[in-house]
Amino acid sequence: MLSPNLEQTLRRALAYANERRHDYATLEHLLLALVDDQDAIAVMRRSLPRGIRLVAEIEPVPMPVICAVDGGCFGAAVALTLACDIVLAGDDAAFATTPARLGLSYPARDVARLEAG
């Protein structure tokens, strides 16, 4: 059984897809719906600082940092990947900066890392 908040979030994601006349509800619709989910906001607030610290700790490492990606690499995982010097991507690797598909800007520091690579 789904929690009431999760059920409302999923309904919002489906509504966003329908409003835009999209054939499918995608990860982007769900991410947009999660913006209003108080449970998700609480989890993101607790998790985000750790991810930012991890990226900041990887950048100054004096030796090459190697990242292996197999499967989906989205959002903050892309930022983590961009902080590495070498990325080994498997055949099933997929990268996406989903905020851009929602009309949100991607962090300038991450875009600079992408352009520098």
Mean pLDDT of the 8-13 span: 91
Buried-exposed string 4-30: b where 16+ CB fall within 10 A, e elsewhere = eeeeebbebbbebbeeeeeeebeebbb
Is the pLDDT score of 16 beyond 70?
yes
Q: State both tokens at 67.
A: 């990242």
pLDDT single digits (tens) 89-106: 999 888 887 666 666 666
Q: Which residues contact 98 (CB under 8 A, 6 or more apart)?
A: 27, 28, 31, 74, 75
Q: What is the pLDDT of residues 39-87, one digit of tens each?
A: 887 877 776 667 677 888 888 899 999 999 988 888 778 888 888 999 9
